[in-house]
Amino acid sequence: MEEKAMNKKLIVLLAIIFFLIGGVSAKILSSSNETVLAINVEKTIDNMTVNNPIKIILEEKIRQVEEKRTKEEERRRLEEIRLEEERRLEEVRLLEEERLAEEKDSGNEQENYKIAYLTFDDGPSNTVTPMVLDILAEYDIKATFFVLGKMVDVNPNILKRIFDEGHAIGNHSYSHGYSHIYKNIDNFLEELRLADNAIRRVLGEDFETKLLRLPGGSHGSYRKKFVEAAEDLGYKVYDWNALNGDAEGLNLSKDRLVKRLKSTVKGQKELIVLMHDTDTKTTTAEALPEIIEYLISEGYTFKKLEE
């Protein structure tokens, strides 16, 4: 408390000194309980020498406030992502419950089947994707990789390995750039075409996939027209109803990813599990064996998605 009071007194003193110099303007920057007086750089700070101690102290205070503000904005952004995923998963669970109720009423209910479809988005990468493939091979599990065209262009040999090892390959757009992709239908379809072409350059012109996952998923009324446009071309659009949460923050621990996955399973008979295999998602690969073991213990078998 004493240090904070001293800081405020120092800032006020420095502000008075600057105003005594004259010809300055100011704005107030606030973060938590701190207030910093930011002096117009054109008229005062820029006219001071680089090593002027007053200039250094003020600029450091302003930098600290901006840094706190940036961290808080990032925290809020990640929390919004988490809450949106919770909402999305709840919608999917309700739809699945309705489907299972209809099966039960029609007498077509399958009592003992529990299937998990492991899916990986945004690759292929040259670090995490091979780690994931090694683990899947160890468990003799086939998964589905929704790839980005731009990453296929960078890592064609990894895409070839995915294909050679019998996994399913789906289209996840070329760039994953929301503002461009969802600007209009033409942009959206062009992204799908570019991604398909990138895949064919590696796997051959005869290769075709009709598996599709929209960047960010297909939920939301404004994306309905994009889903319909894709389905008109024969694509089968897949979202997810479980996830490990590896898109909900940076450098998340293995234990957190496993815990998040367990919290989203909730006894569903069919799981489509969302994960990511970009270069930054090393803990996704590290958590994968424990996730697989958990799903096995819960009675799930594993399949790849079908067109």
Which residues are known catalytic residues?
121, 276
- Taking the C-alpha atoms of residue 58 and residue 37, their distance in angstroms, rounded to an integer, is 8
Q: Which two tokens stand for residue 197?
A: 């072409």
- Taking the C-alpha atoms of residue 165 and residue 143, their distance in angstroms, rounded to an integer, is 10
Q: What is the SS3 assignment for 247?
A: coil
One-letter amino acid at 80 equals E
Cβ atoms of residues 155 and 195 within 8 Å:
no
Note every long-range contact of 5-10, with CB atoms under 8 Å and residues 24 or more positions apart, other chains counting: 7/34, 7/61, 8/34, 8/35, 10/57
- Taking the C-alpha atoms of residue 270 and residue 274, their distance in angstroms, rounded to an integer, is 13
Q: Which two tokens stand for residue 239?
A: 């979202």
- Taking the C-alpha atoms of residue 27 and residue 200, their distance in angstroms, rounded to an integer, is 56
- Tell me the pairing of strands 115-121 and 301-302: parallel
